[in-house]
Homo-oligomer: A and B are copies of this chain.
Amino acid sequence: MEGKKEKDFIATLRAHGLQVTYQRLAIYQTMYFSREHPSAETVYQLVKKKFAMISLGTVYKTLEKFYEVGLIDKVSPITEVARYEAKTGPHNHMVCLQCQRILDADSTVEDPTISVPGLDGFHVLRRQVVLHGYCTACKPSLVNSGS
């Protein structure tokens, strides 16, 4: 049923430059077989079933570490805190990773995404397109600082 063996999981962790522990193995396997986009708390509950002595703090640290090395993805909040604007109505946002500025993109970018394969009868109420990157003000400073 589970085609991937423990050996493979260990290899994957190593391949990402991670030290291998039972906790990491358990957390990674849980993530690997999950299609639920679980939260840290959910992962904690799942892992605890097989590995009762794990702590929530470790799950937080481990998921962040996995995310850092690109082993898993994070469906992050768009911004750290809620941000408001007086301009209502549909438009997209560009979030600068450096200065946290949010720029409006008035655009028809809606069009290219309209036919999303795999919608499966999902009833779409709102579409949000968020572009993450660097604004013109922050771009130059990045060039200077190497990467």
Which A residues fall within an 8 A CB radius of B?
28, 31-32, 34-41, 43, 63, 66-67, 70-79, 81-89, 92-94, 96-97, 101-109, 112-114, 116-136, 139
Q: How far is the CB of A18 from chain B (nearest CB, A)?
A: 14
A39-B83, A40-B84 are known; give 17 further A-B pairs, CB within 8 A: A35-B85, A37-B93, A37-B102, A39-B82, A40-B81, A73-B89, A75-B78, A75-B83, A75-B84, A75-B85, A76-B78, A92-B116, A97-B125, A103-B118, A124-B131, A124-B132, A126-B132
Q: Count identical subunits in the complex.
A: 2
Q: How far is the CB of A42 from chain B (nearest CB, A)?
A: 8
